[in-house]
Amino acid sequence: MASTAAGTDAADAARPPAAGPATTRRPAGEGPGRPGEGALAGSREGDAATRFAAGYLRDAIMNGDMVPGQRLVEAELAEMLRVTRASVRAALISLAAAGLIERIPNRGARVRVVPVAEAVAITECRMVLEGLCAAKAAGNASDAEIERLTAVGEQLTRAAGAADPLKYSALNRELHLLIHEISGQAVAADLLQRLNAQIVRYQFRLSLRPGRMHVSLPQHLEIIYAIAARDPGAAEAAARRHLGSVIHALQETAEGAS
């Protein structure tokens, strides 16, 4: 995958190649025909078109299909998504406000490059919010929800045992989203979604670091066990320890780059 971000690592090597501009894939569910034909075509006007474009770009950034530093060309996006350039522009403005892209005067827009120091600061905020969600989940979890958490924990264990970092990374994200859902803390969950979107590239890179899975696995299991025991204090402390470990790993990344 082409990227203007400094450096090349295993995370980039593990991704399929992509072109520089943001025209690497069609909207989900659309085949090789003209984009926009079908059920969604009639909805891509006005505010609906802006929401569609913003959602598509947000998902592409979250999934790693668009990389830090990648240019976002309004005309190309408008043609690909079958919306107006005005809708694309409005979508880019909303994503800039969310910290996902940056608009550079006279140069257009690009996926925002987040420095390591800022990624650490974002993770410090996540540590507080993840702790809150874990505590709330421990107080709210039903037997069925605990079974779902336990099942994800078992899958994480198998992925680590099979040395499958891509599967482990996907399950890691699934676990945190499930905890947010169980917590019932919609405000914290929304804030975490915005924060996570800004540092998804770092999260993916850390998941590929040798030995990282075996560091984070017991931490994730500790969070699951505390929620299953319906112990809010223990769940919050376990979540904070896990995010503290992530911060330490990010700081090591900064030191290695210096």
CA atoms within 13 A on the CB side of 181: 11
* pLDDT tens per residue, range 153-210: 999 999 999 999 989 999 999 999 999 999 999 999 999 988 988 888 888 788 888 8
Q: So what's the pLDDT on residue 208?
A: 82
Contacts of 216-224 with CB under 8 Å at 24 or more apart are: 216/172, 216/242, 216/245, 216/246, 217/156, 217/157, 217/160, 219/245, 220/153, 220/156, 220/172, 220/175, 221/153, 221/156, 221/157, 223/134, 223/175, 223/179, 224/149, 224/150, 224/152, 224/153, 224/175
pLDDT value of residue 200: 82
Place of tokens 């600061």: 121
d(C-alpha 120, C-alpha 100), whole Å: 16
* Whole-number Å distance between alpha carbons of 60 and 58: 5
pTM of the model: 0.72
Q: How far apart are CA 235 and CA 204, in angstroms?
A: 24
For the segment 78-83, the average pLDDT, to the nearest whole number, is 93
Query: By C-alpha distance, which of 104, 176, 89 is closest to 133?
Result: 176
Among 39, 113, 108, 106, smallest CA distance to 76 is for 108
Q: CA 9, 10, 14 angle in degrees (round to 5)?
A: 130
Q: Hey, which bits of 143-203 come out as E strands?
A: none
Amino acid type, 258: S
140 pLDDT more than 80: yes
Q: pLDDT tier at 37 (50, 70, 90 boundaries)? A: very low
Question: Tens of pLDDT along 235-249?
Answer: 999 999 999 999 999
Range scoring the smallest mean pLDDT among 49-53, 135-139, 222-226:
49-53
Which pLDDT does position 72 carry in this prediction?
A: 93
Q: What pLDDT, on the 0 to 100 scale, is given for residue 160?
A: 95
Average of per-residue pLDDT across 70-89: 93
Rounded Cα distance between 180 and 133, Å, is: 6
HSE at residue 124, side-chain half, CA atoms within 13 A, is: 7
What is the rounded distance in angstroms from the CA atom of residue 137 to the CA atom of residue 178? 9
Which residues share a beta bridge with 71? Answer: 110
- Residue 3 pLDDT level (bands cut at 50, 70, 90): very low
pLDDT reported for residue 203 = 82
Question: 91 and 101 in contact (C-beta within 8 Å)?
Answer: no
Report the percent of the chain where pLDDT is more than 70: 81
pLDDT the model gives residue 216: 95
Residue 44 has pLDDT above 80, yes or no: no
